[in-house]
């Protein structure tokens, strides 16, 4: 039996506690135990219900009329014919509800008004008795357009010459602080100024320049977005949505349609994959006005795959210029970087993604002199929102490609270059945030581990057979989670009469398994078996405590801390009730194994079930109180960004890691097979190793798919032509490489029991590592995604005229 003692500092309680990590010892301690997903059996048997699975009697169906143009004036919309179609209850257009929405800039109408800014933009909505009647009537909505010049790229938009996408940008309400350049179609310009740029240049012996870019792509969640809305005669608005942000929906519907917040009730059942794409609010507003236009009837709106890909927000595109300097012995000296993010037609999260990329632009490396300009640029592409990694995968692609180029120029081992410059406690980030033992993990340890796991010493390019070579590429990674500085989370624990517990948190189960981890945290805190805990799997704003949004890999950190606090609250109350029976002070008692016992003599105890509703004496008198646990968490220590220098403390901690990819590359055909992918993450204390491995592997697979083949193709009119899985490629099961996932365990000191989030991190270094391996293999710089063989061929062709 392996016993391990670890000191875990629970800063949240401002006290130090010691937790015995008793592995393989059965029920009492669930840290490090791979218990199965709580909801797993329901999911694999098809019993679990998702938004589109629910229907209400009398429910109507809504279908979108979308724009066939990327940029056009709406001259007129004639709904007369559509209104007369069989089964049609209402046809709504943008002018009926002239509301502008957006989390950073209120630039987006619920349905297009006056002009359309991207192909697929919702223009009208038809509500009918059945879905097919609604869809049929859509073809009778007659919209007359006048075409406008299409801005196809960030470069084109940035010139500000051909067109403005938002002529009235200056009139928009801006809930967040931004530095726009409206005449260049720039919604936000972020500047990071750290150190002395000129000094940095002066002390650099070598300088490399590189340009990288990646196109917009899709989140490709299995479940397409779906929403239902109903307005009751009392005025209560009920929305059910496949969302990562039910509480945000509640706030925003309340705000934009002037409804008391308590009258907006949002319900979210299981979500079938989200990856950031379901944190944005779009269809919920549309569903609300659709219901409103029918007198409040229940309506359902479920995206087809085609609409899900282009009408709803997508993964951001990026173009970046990097200048990276170093001394001859490989010490990084300066970084000058420009990002142009393709936010598409509307800003949504893009301004914040721009900020995040800028504030963390160096990746997990120490650079004293940093000069970064990041622009959030409007184009006539679909609008972008958060995507797994939130800017970090994009910035990693830029910086890690530059690092490999630098290593080549220095004739230095790329691994050594990274190890030499790995960031550590005591260093500062580009936003001048001071790193400490508590808020950053061990980058160097991750790199050294990956070096072994990928067998780096074998050589990064090794011949396999005639025309086939094996090549390896690496990438470091880091990520912080930029949230509002007051983002909050809560947990409520109620107890059943037998002493078992019900846990209620506002975290959405999007397939990530957080709720199982939260069960483990509570079980550990209460010293009970996980089977004694029931978890409320859906989220309902009327009964669940708010959790900011299920995004940014923060659910374990935020809700986990709230659960620990709620468990402490339950224990306090149980001890109080038990003190009547055990005739002692509550402080003399401890709770564990469903018992409340005297610390000094554990044999003297009362079962929890006897004290969940106060303590009843033999004569029937009852003392104490009913036990209900509450716990809360708010982000603290975060600061807003200084607009001039980018100085900020953007997130509570930086999770670091290293990744590697091995490919077998055919030098004749330029086709390749990804044979191996490795991740080493400093994930702190891991509650559920198999769950964590699953998350990291899933993210790696997603990253390899994104890097190797995903991306939207636009025709000359700016229309996306691959909004179907026939032509939009994702990695298939038989193309998966061997995955190796390993962890370094530097505790996050303010995480629950030292745990860190790992939901996103596995994706971050994959594009860079794949590009690095293929660039080695093909002996050319591959700086643009996706890395399809034709792209490699075209690069090689350029080089050999």
Partner 1 sequence: MITTDFEYYCAQSITEAVDLFKQLSDSGIRPLFYNGGTEIITLMRINSFYTHVNAVIDIKRIPECSVLEMDEHDYLVIGASVPLAEIEENMAFPLLSKNCSRIADHTSREKITLGGNVCGHIKYKEAILPLLLTNSTLVIADEKGLHEVFIQDIFDKEIILEPGSFIVQFKIEKEFLSMPYINKKMTKIDRIGYPLITVSAIQMKKEIRFAFSGLCETPFYSYEIDDILNNEENSIRKRINAAIKQIPEPILDDIEGSASYRKFVLSNTLEEIMMKLNGGGGNEAIS
Determine which residue in the list 327, 328, 669, 779 makes contact with partner 1, applying CB under 8 A. Answer: 669
Tell me how far, at minimum, the Cβ of 394 lies from partner 1, in Å: 21
Please give the helix or strand (H or E) that residue 400 lies within, else none. helix 392-410
How far apart are the C-alpha atoms of 453 and 1, rounded to whole Å?
Answer: 28
Cα dihedral sign, 53-56-57-60: negative
129 binds partner 1 (CB under 8 A): no
- Per CB under 8 A, the segment of 5-13, 498-506, 531-539, 731-739 that binds partner 1 is 731-739
Determine which residue in the list 217, 708, 746, 772 makes contact with partner 1, applying CB under 8 A. Answer: 708
68 binds partner 1 (CB under 8 A): no
Bridging pattern class, strands 501-505 and 533-535: parallel
How far apart are the C-alpha atoms of 390 and 354, rounded to whole Å?
Answer: 9
Instruction: List, as one string, the DSSP characters of 119-143.
Output: TT-EEEEEEESSHHHHHHHHTT-EE
Determine which residue in the list 32, 95, 100, 131 makes contact with partner 1, applying CB under 8 A. Answer: 131
497 binds partner 1 (CB under 8 A): no
Tell me how far, at minimum, the Cβ of 705 lies from partner 1, in Å: 10
Determine which residue in the list 42, 729, 739, 749 makes contact with partner 1, applying CB under 8 A. Answer: 729
Name which of 257 and 791 has its Cβ closer to partner 1: 791
- Strand locations in 652-799, DSSP E? 654-666, 672-682, 738-744
260 binds partner 1 (CB under 8 A): no
Name which of 88 and 423 has its Cβ closer to partner 1: 88
Number of residues lying near partner 1 (CB under 8 A):
27
Name which of 228 and 605 has its Cβ closer to partner 1: 228
Are 715 and 648 in contact by the 8 Å Cβ rule? The answer is no
798 binds partner 1 (CB under 8 A): no
Angle at which helices 766-778 and 789-799 cross, to 10°: 40
**135 preceded by cis ω (within 30°)?**
no
Name which of 131 and 590 has its Cβ closer to partner 1: 131
Tell me how far, at minimum, the Cβ of 736 lies from partner 1, in Å: 11
Name which of 166 and 303 has its Cβ closer to partner 1: 303
Query: Which two three-digit tokens encode residue 266?
Result: 């949002």
- Per CB under 8 A, the segment of 12-20, 103-111, 132-140, 317-325 that binds partner 1 is 132-140
Q: Please give the residues from 687 up to 706 whose contact with partner 1 meets the rule CB under 8 A.
A: none
Name which of 458 and 790 has its Cβ closer to partner 1: 790
How far apart are the C-alpha atoms of 166 and 380, rounded to whole Å?
Answer: 11
State the Rg of the chain over Cα.
27
- Per CB under 8 A, the segment of 342-350, 475-483, 687-695, 729-737 that binds partner 1 is 729-737
626 binds partner 1 (CB under 8 A): no
- Per CB under 8 A, the segment of 43-51, 129-137, 368-376, 426-434 that binds partner 1 is 129-137
Please give the helix or strand (H or E) that residue 284 lies within, else none. helix 283-292
- Per CB under 8 A, the segment of 133-141, 291-299, 370-378, 391-399 that binds partner 1 is 133-141
Name which of 307 and 312 has its Cβ closer to partner 1: 307
Query: Which two three-digit tokens encode residue 310?
Result: 């282009």
Q: Please give the residues from 539 up to 558 whose contact with partner 1 meets the rule CB under 8 A.
A: none
- Per CB under 8 A, the segment of 196-204, 243-251, 599-607, 786-794 that binds partner 1 is 786-794
Q: Residue 477: name the closest of 537, 391, 416, 541 by CA.
A: 391
Determine which residue in the list 42, 87, 135, 485 makes contact with partner 1, applying CB under 8 A. Answer: 135
Tell me how far, at minimum, the Cβ of 724 lies from partner 1, in Å: 8
How far apart are the C-alpha atoms of 653 and 16, rounded to whole Å?
Answer: 20
Please give the helix or strand (H or E) that residue 160 lies within, else none. none
Are 198 and 651 in contact by the 8 Å Cβ rule? The answer is no
How far apart are the C-alpha atoms of 419 and 4, rounded to whole Å?
Answer: 30
Query: Which two three-digit tokens encode residue 668?
Result: 């004749």
CA atoms within 13 A on the CB side of 268: 31
Name which of 23 and 55 has its Cβ closer to partner 1: 55
Name which of 631 and 703 has its Cβ closer to partner 1: 703
Q: Residue 471: name the closest of 674, 657, 668 by CA.
A: 674
Name which of 61 and 743 has its Cβ closer to partner 1: 61
CA angle at residue 300 from 296 to 305, to 5 degrees?
Answer: 150
Name which of 45 and 727 has its Cβ closer to partner 1: 727
Determine which residue in the list 60, 116, 337, 731 makes contact with partner 1, applying CB under 8 A. Answer: 731
735 binds partner 1 (CB under 8 A): yes
Q: Please give the residues from 295 up to 354 whose contact with partner 1 meets the rule CB under 8 A.
A: 304, 306
How far apart are the C-alpha atoms of 120 and 466, rounded to whole Å?
Answer: 48
Residue 34: how many other CB atoms lie within 10 Å = 16
Determine which residue in the list 618, 726, 800, 801 makes contact with partner 1, applying CB under 8 A. Answer: 726
Cα dihedral sign, 19-24-25-29: positive
642 binds partner 1 (CB under 8 A): no
Residue 68: how many other CB atoms lie within 10 Å = 15
How far apart are the C-alpha atoms of 116 and 122, rounded to whole Å?
Answer: 9
Name which of 667 and 781 has its Cβ closer to partner 1: 667
Tell me how far, at minimum, the Cβ of 185 lies from partner 1, in Å: 27
Q: Residue 330: name the closest of 439, 409, 219, 432 by CA.
A: 409
Q: Please give the residues from 190 up to 209 whose contact with partner 1 meets the rule CB under 8 A.
A: none
Cα dihedral sign, 154-155-158-162: negative
Burial of 616 (0-12, 13-18, 19+ CB in 10 A): middle
Name which of 105 and 771 has its Cβ closer to partner 1: 771
Determine which residue in the list 722, 736, 745, 780 makes contact with partner 1, applying CB under 8 A. Answer: 722
Cα dihedral sign, 75-81-85-89: positive
For the CA atoms of 747, 745, 392, 364, the dihedral, rounded to the nearest 10 degrees, stands at 90
Query: Which two three-digit tokens encode residue 245?
Result: 């942000």
Name which of 5 and 733 has its Cβ closer to partner 1: 733
Determine which residue in the list 33, 136, 225, 381 makes contact with partner 1, applying CB under 8 A. Answer: 136
How far apart are the C-alpha atoms of 126 and 287, rounded to whole Å?
Answer: 11
34 binds partner 1 (CB under 8 A): no
Tell me how far, at minimum, the Cβ of 303 lies from partner 1, in Å: 12
Name which of 497 and 668 has its Cβ closer to partner 1: 668
Are 120 and 66 in contact by the 8 Å Cβ rule? The answer is yes
Instruction: List, as one string, the DSSP characters of 2-36.
Output: -EEEEEEEEGGGTEEEEEEEETTS-SS--TT--PP
For the CA atoms of 748, 749, 752, 756, the dihedral, rounded to the nearest 10 degrees, stands at -10
732 binds partner 1 (CB under 8 A): yes
Q: In 3-state terms, what secondary structure has residue 698?
A: helix
Determine which residue in the list 1, 727, 798, 800 makes contact with partner 1, applying CB under 8 A. Answer: 727
Tell me how far, at minimum, the Cβ of 91 lies from partner 1, in Å: 16
69 binds partner 1 (CB under 8 A): no
Are 102 and 26 in contact by the 8 Å Cβ rule? The answer is no
Name which of 395 and 707 has its Cβ closer to partner 1: 707
793 binds partner 1 (CB under 8 A): yes
Name which of 135 and 590 has its Cβ closer to partner 1: 135
- Per CB under 8 A, the segment of 130-138, 180-188, 253-261, 452-460 that binds partner 1 is 130-138
Binding site for partner 1 (CB under 8 A): 131-132, 135-136, 139, 304, 306, 668-669, 708-709, 713, 721-722, 724, 726-727, 729, 731-732, 734-735, 788-790, 793-794
């Amino acid at each position: 039996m392996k016993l391990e003692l670890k000191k875990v500092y629970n800063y949240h309680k401002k006290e130090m506690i010691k937790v015995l990590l008793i592995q393989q010892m059965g029920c009492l301690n669930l840290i490090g135990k791979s218990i199965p997903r709580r909801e797993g059996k329901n999911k694999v048997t098809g019993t679990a219900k998702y938004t589109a699975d629910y229907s209400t009697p009398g429910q109507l169906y809504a279908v979108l009329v979308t724009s066939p143009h990327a940029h056009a004036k709406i001259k007129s919309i004639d709904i007369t014919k559509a209104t007369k179609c069989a089964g049609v209850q209402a046809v709504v257009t943008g002018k009926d509800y002239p509301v502008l929405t957006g989390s950073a800039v209120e630039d987006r109408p619920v349905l297009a008004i006056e002009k359309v800014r991207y192909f697929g933009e919702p223009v009208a909505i038809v509500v009918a008795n059945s879905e097919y009647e609604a869809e049929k009537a859509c073809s009778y909505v007659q919209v007359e357009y006048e075409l406008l010049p299409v801005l196809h790229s960030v470069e084109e938009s940035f010139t500000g010459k051909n067109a403005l996408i938002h002529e009235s940008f200056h009139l928009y309400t801006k809930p967040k602080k931004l530095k726009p350049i409206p005449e260049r179609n720039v919604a936000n310009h972020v500047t990071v100024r750290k150190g002395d740029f000129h000094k940095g240049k002066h002390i650099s012996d070598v300088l490399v320049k590189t340009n990288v870019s990646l196109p917009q792509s899709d989140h490709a969640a299995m479940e397409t977005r779906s929403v239902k809305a109903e307005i009751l005669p009392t005025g209560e608005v009920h929305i059910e949505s496949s969302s990562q942000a039910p509480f945000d929906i509640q706030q925003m519907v309340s705000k934009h349609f002037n409804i008391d917040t308590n009258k907006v009730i949002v319900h979210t059942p299981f979500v079938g994959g989200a990856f950031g794409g379901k944190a944005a609010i779009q269809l919920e507003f549309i569903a609300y006005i659709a219901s409103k236009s029918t007198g409040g009837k229940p309506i359902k709106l479920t995206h087809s795959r085609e609409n899900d890909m282009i009408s709803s927000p997508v993964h951001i595109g990026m173009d970046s210029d990097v200048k990276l300097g170093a001394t001859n012995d490989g010490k990084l000296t300066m970084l000058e970087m420009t990002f142009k993010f393709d936010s598409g037609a509307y800003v949504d999260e893009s301004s914040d993604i721009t900020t995040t990329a800028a504030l963390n632009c160096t990746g997990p490396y120490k650079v004293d002199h940093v000069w970064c300009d990041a622009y959030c640029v409007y184009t006539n592409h679909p609008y972008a929102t958060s995507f797994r990694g939130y800017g970090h995968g994009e910035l990693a692609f830029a910086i890690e490609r530059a690092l490999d180029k630098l290593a080549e120029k220095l004739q230095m081992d790329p691994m050594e270059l990274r190890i030499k410059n790995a960031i550590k406690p005591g260093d500062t980030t580009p936003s001048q945030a001071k790193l400490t033992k508590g808020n950053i993990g061990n980058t160097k340890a991750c790199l050294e581990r990956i070096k072994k796991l990928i067998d780096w010493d074998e050589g990064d390019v090794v011949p396999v057979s005639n025309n086939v070579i094996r090549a390896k590429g690496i990438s470091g990674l880091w990520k912080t989670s930029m949230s509002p500085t007051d983002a909050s989370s809560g947990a409520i624990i109620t107890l059943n009469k037998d002493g078992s517990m019900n846990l209620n948190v506002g975290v959405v189960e999007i397939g990530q398994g957080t709720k199982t981890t939260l069960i483990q945290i509570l079980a550990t805190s209460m010293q009970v078996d996980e089977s004694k805990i029931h978890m409320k799997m859906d989220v309902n704003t009327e009964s669940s405590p708010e959790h900011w949004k299920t995004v940014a890999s923060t659910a374990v950190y935020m809700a986990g801390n709230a659960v620990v606090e709620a468990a402490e609250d339950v224990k306090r109350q149980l001890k109080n009730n038990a003190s009547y029976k055990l005739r002692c002070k509550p402080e003399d008692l401890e709770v564990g194994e469903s018992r409340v016992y005297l610390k000094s003599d554990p044999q003297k105890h009362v079962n929890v079930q006897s004290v969940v509703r106060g303590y009843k004496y033999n004569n029937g008198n009852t003392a104490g109180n009913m036990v209900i646990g509450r716990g809360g968490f708010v982000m603290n220590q975060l600061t807003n960004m200084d607009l001039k220098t980018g100085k900020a403390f953007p997130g509570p901690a930086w999770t670091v890691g290293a990744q590697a990819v091995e490919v077998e590359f055919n030098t004749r055909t330029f086709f390749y097979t990804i044979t191996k992918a490795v991740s080493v993450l400093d994930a702190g204390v891991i509650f559920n190793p198999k769950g964590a491995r699953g998350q990291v592997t899933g993210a790696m697979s997603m990253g390899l798919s994104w890097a190797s083949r995903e991306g939207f193709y636009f025709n000359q009119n700016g229309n996306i032509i691959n909004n179907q899985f026939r032509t939009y490629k994702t990695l298939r099961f038989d193309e998966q490489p061997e995955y190796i996932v390993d962890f370094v365990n530097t505790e996050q000191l303010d995480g629950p029991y030292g745990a860190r989030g790992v939901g996103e991190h596995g994706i971050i270094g994959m594009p860079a590592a794949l590009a690095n391996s293929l660039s080695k293999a093909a002996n050319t710089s591959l700086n643009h995604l996706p890395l399809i063989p034709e792209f490699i061929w075209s690069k090689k062709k350029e080089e050999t005229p």
